[in-house]
Amino acid sequence: MMTGSHQTLIYWLILLLGVAGPLVFPDYTNQMAVLWLMVVFALTWDILGGQMGYNSLGNIFFFGAGMYVAAIVQIGLFYDVGMYTSAARTTHIAFSNAQYFTGFALGTIAAGLASAVLAIGVGLIVFGLRGPYFAIGTLGVAVAAAELTASWEWVGAASGISLPVFPGEPEAQKLFFYFLLFGLAFALMLFLRWLYSTNFGLAINAIRDDEEKAEAMGLHTRRYKRTAWVITAFFLGIAGAVFGNMTGFIEPRDIAFPTTTFNIFMVLMVLLGGKGTLWGPVVGAVIFHLIKELTWTYFLGWQFITLGLLIIIILVYFQQGIVGWFEEKYPAWSGLEVAAKEAPPAAHNVAPLPQAKAAE
Amino acid sequence: MSEPIIEIENVTKSFGGVQANRGITLTVPKGAITGLIGPNGSGKTTLFSSIVGYHPIDAGSIRFQGQEISKLNVQDIARLGLLRTFQTTRIYGKMNCTQNLLISISQRQAQFADMFARARAELVDRAEHLLAFVGLYDKRFLRAGSLSFGQQKLLEFAMALMNEPTVLLLDEPTAGINPTLINGLIDRLKRANMQFGITLFIIEHNMRAIMNMASKIYCLAHGELLAVGDPLTIQRDQRVIDAYLGAH
């Protein structure tokens, strides 16, 4: 059986691997940074999709929104944003070290908060929908955001924004963003471990299993759903801010709101790893990222066909995912279904009941 | 009879052209076990759904502890302490039995911060005692969805008790339960009523069971209240017998 100390060991192991990774394989720092981004994607998608049973196809909205909010704050603190986006095409606008780091820090925090606030607004609309309608409704939000941003001149419209350049060596830049993304993913893992151990975890699982029953029991279902959505948005907003600065250039359709790539990857990684499980999203993200990097390297031109094949295989043959399959096969080891044969806590001593016998 | 806890006056509910409830007036006395019987399609479950706010009623009034509740929604009514169980059992299938109980605690006082509270030891203890009370202690770590239908019904009953309701509406508690377990269930329902002081309002088709439990029984037929009385009166009422045998 997987005990608490085993779990703690796994977190230490991940911390060790995360820190050692870029030092041992410096050539792959960027790929590993994206891997942690994928872990964040999978874990945040699983909050609603796996634990709460609401399959969202619009989570990428919060990623892109965070990216743009961070960019606007970073630039807006020191320049006029409209002027910057139109001038950036012809001239290089410099930021001092202090300007860069204050802007980046404030922008990232603002990104998380703004995405969380947006989640409350979007939640008012989309939580009226259930099942496939929720999926389509959220997808609509993401697609609309991409198109609206693409026609918004103030933020550079479809030609995007070049973000302030990192003031340092390329190697230092890589490590800086690697550790930010790793830190975010690791913090999210610890946060979710705590979150799922509270009433919150039980409540969103109850909503997944039978929302009407949860309502009939008086649970504040709307409050739980909205909070789950806000948590998702907060972490995605921060991820967007960091990733936008890591690439250095952002634009709406392929980087901020990529509805057909990152947005679908989120779902796929969770399905591959096992939705609604603590470790499924992490396992799924790692395996998916490996497959993706390998096909992008060795089967360039065929990568989307490989990806499509993977989607079909997972959906048809492997719906419970790797961790889900493992839990079915070895339930005891996963901490489920422990056959209890010890004596019950003396049911009849609960409260001595003379009249109970009278009923016989 | 003691003071009424639920007062229903002239409640009417139609679905399209079908009048499921027509001018129903009845009261559920506090602290007692009240039965609701009637042939299939006589509007019993519709009445339950109206009471707990599942759908708006067309006319009439429903009061719980003197408060008008016919305009409130399901969650608000549940938080007042008026709970129902379902005819087709509803439990949280992928969670284990203990978890099913832990999430069923009363939400009357729930604050925002309580969303992130952990289950306290005494709560786990109470959950395990209730599981023992319905005879599911051995299964407490099993997924609720893997239990048999009868066991799920017992689990749903335990979940309702965990919520500490003032009134519990039970929709056919003995349906689908192994006949040898029915006596045990009747015993537990009576104990829930006496020991925990929960007022019970029960829809039941098993005449022996309901006659054994209830002190007052209402009989519905074709959406209207047909008869009311103690078990003995109801059993001898010719209109009730006719309704069940199809004389209407």
DSSP state of A252: I
Q: Exposure string (b/e) for A190-205, b if CB count within 10 Å is 16 or more?
A: eebeebbeebbbbbbb
Q: Domain range holding A329? A: 260-335
Residue A359 CB neighbours (<10 A): 17
Of A207, A240, A258, the residue at which a domain comes to its end is A258
Could you tell me if residue A243 is inside a domain? yes
Indicate which of B89, B141, B167 best probes the interface with A, i.e. most A CBs within 10 Å of its own CB. Answer: B141
In a shared domain, residues A100 and A176: yes
In a shared domain, residues A190 and A165: yes
DSSP state of B143: B
Could you tell me if residue A15 is inside a domain? no
Report pLDDT digits (tens) over B229-239.
998 888 888 88
B193 close contact with A: CB closer than 8 A: no
- Cα(first)–Cα(last) distance of chain B, in Å? 31
Could you tell me if residue A359 is inside a domain? no
Give the whole-angstrom CA distance, residue A334 versus residue A2. Answer: 6
**Residue B25: what are its φ and ψ, rounded to 5°?**
-125, 120
Q: How confident is the model at residue B158 (pLDDT cuts 50, 70, 90)?
A: very high
Chain B residue with minimal CA distance to A194?
B116
Please name every residue paired with B27 in a beta bridge, in sequence order, or none if there are none. B7
Give the whole-angstrom CA distance, residue A222 versus residue B39. Answer: 37
Report pLDDT digits (tens) over A141-186.
999 999 999 999 888 888 888 888 888 888 999 999 999 999 999 9
B107 close contact with A: CB closer than 8 A: yes
What burial class does residue A297 get, using C-beta atoms within 10 Å of its C-beta: 0-12 exposed, 13-18 middle, 19+ buried? exposed
pLDDT at B144 over 60: yes
The pLDDT of residue A17 is: 93
Q: Domain range holding B237? A: 4-245
Report pLDDT digits (tens) over B36-75.
998 888 899 999 999 999 999 999 999 999 999 989 999 9
Q: Which of A44, A49, A40, A58 is nearest to A276 (CA)?
A: A49
Tokens of B46: 């519709």
Of A258, A278, A311, the residue at which a domain comes to its end is A258
- Across the A:B interface, residue pairs with CB atoms under 8 Å apart total 136
* CATH number of the domain enclosing B46: 3.40.50.300
Whether A338 and B112 lie within 8 Å, measured CB to CB: no
CA atoms within 13 A on the CB side of A119: 29
In a shared domain, residues A278 and A241: no
B114 close contact with A: CB closer than 8 A: yes
Give the whole-angstrom CA distance, residue A148 versus residue A252. Answer: 9
The pLDDT of residue A90 is: 67
Angle at A157 between CA A154 and CA A161, to 5 degrees: 80
Domain count for chain A, please give it: 2
Report pLDDT digits (tens) over B78-128.
999 999 998 888 999 999 999 999 999 988 888 888 888 887 888 999 999
Could you tell me if residue A65 is inside a domain? yes
The pLDDT of residue A335 is: 61
In a shared domain, residues A310 and A191: no
The pLDDT of residue B170 is: 93
Q: Exposure string (b/e) for B179-198, b if CB count within 10 Å is 16 or more?
A: eebbebbbbbbbbbbbbeeb
B161, B133 in Cβ contact below 8 A?
yes
Whether B142 and A198 lie within 8 Å, measured CB to CB: no
pLDDT at B2 over 70: yes
DSSP state of B96: B
Could you tell me if residue A95 is inside a domain? yes
The pLDDT of residue A2 is: 55
In a shared domain, residues A225 and A319: no
Q: In chain A, which residue ranges form alpha helices assigned H by DSSP? A: 4-24, 29-46, 60-76, 81-87, 97-126, 132-150, 170-195, 199-216, 221-247, 262-273, 280-298, 303-317, 321-329, 354-358
pLDDT over 70 for what percent of chain B? 98
Which of A212, A340, A359 lies nearest to residue B190, judging by beta carbons? A359
Q: Which of A111, A67, A26 is nearest to A254 (CA)?
A: A67
Report pLDDT digits (tens) over A187-198.
999 999 999 999
* A206 contact residues in B (CB cutoff 8 A): 92, 95, 103
Report pLDDT digits (tens) over B194-246.
988 999 999 998 888 899 899 999 999 988 899 899 988 888 888 888 888 76
A52, A192 in Cβ contact below 8 A?
no
In a shared domain, residues A300 and A233: no
Q: Between residues B182 and A189, which one has the greater pLDDT?
A: A189
Whether A217 and B129 lie within 8 Å, measured CB to CB: no
Which of A200, A217, A346 lies nearest to residue B116, judging by beta carbons? A200
The pLDDT of residue A358 is: 33
As a whole number, mean pLDDT of residues B168-178 equals 88
Give the whole-angstrom CA distance, residue A38 versus residue A188. Answer: 12
Chain B residue with minimal CA distance to A211?
B92
In a shared domain, residues A50 and A180: yes
In a shared domain, residues A44 and A139: yes
The pLDDT of residue B13 is: 92
B91 close contact with A: CB closer than 8 A: yes
Indicate which of A209, A212, A215 best probes the interface with B, i.e. most B CBs within 10 Å of its own CB. Answer: A209
Residues 6 or more apart in contact with residue B216 via CB below 8 angstroms: B1, B29, B32, B34, B35, B228, B229, B230
Q: Residues of chain A whose pLDDT is less than 50?
A: 1, 340-360
Could you tell me if residue A3 is inside a domain? no
The pLDDT of residue A3 is: 60
In a shared domain, residues A138 and A187: yes
The pLDDT of residue A4 is: 67
Whether A206 and B129 lie within 8 Å, measured CB to CB: no
Whether B115 and A339 lie within 8 Å, measured CB to CB: no
Domain count for chain B, please give it: 1
Chain A residue with minimal CA distance to B187?
A359
Write the DSSP string, B183-221.
HHHHHHHHHHHHHS--EEEEE-S-HHHHHHH-SEEEEEE
Residues 6 or more apart in contact with residue B14 via CB below 8 angstroms: B20, B58
**A-contacting residues of B 28-57, CB under 8 Å?**
52
In a shared domain, residues A227 and A327: no
Whether B141 and A339 lie within 8 Å, measured CB to CB: yes
* A209 contact residues in B (CB cutoff 8 A): 91-95
Which of B74, B91, B108 lies nearest to residue A215, judging by beta carbons? B74
Could you tell me if residue A353 is inside a domain? no
In a shared domain, residues A66 and A209: yes
In a shared domain, residues A233 and A107: yes
Give the whole-angstrom CA distance, residue A296 versus residue A313. Answer: 19
Indicate which of B115, B122, B142, B196 best probes the interface with A, i.e. most A CBs within 10 Å of its own CB. Answer: B115
Could you tell me if residue A345 is inside a domain? no
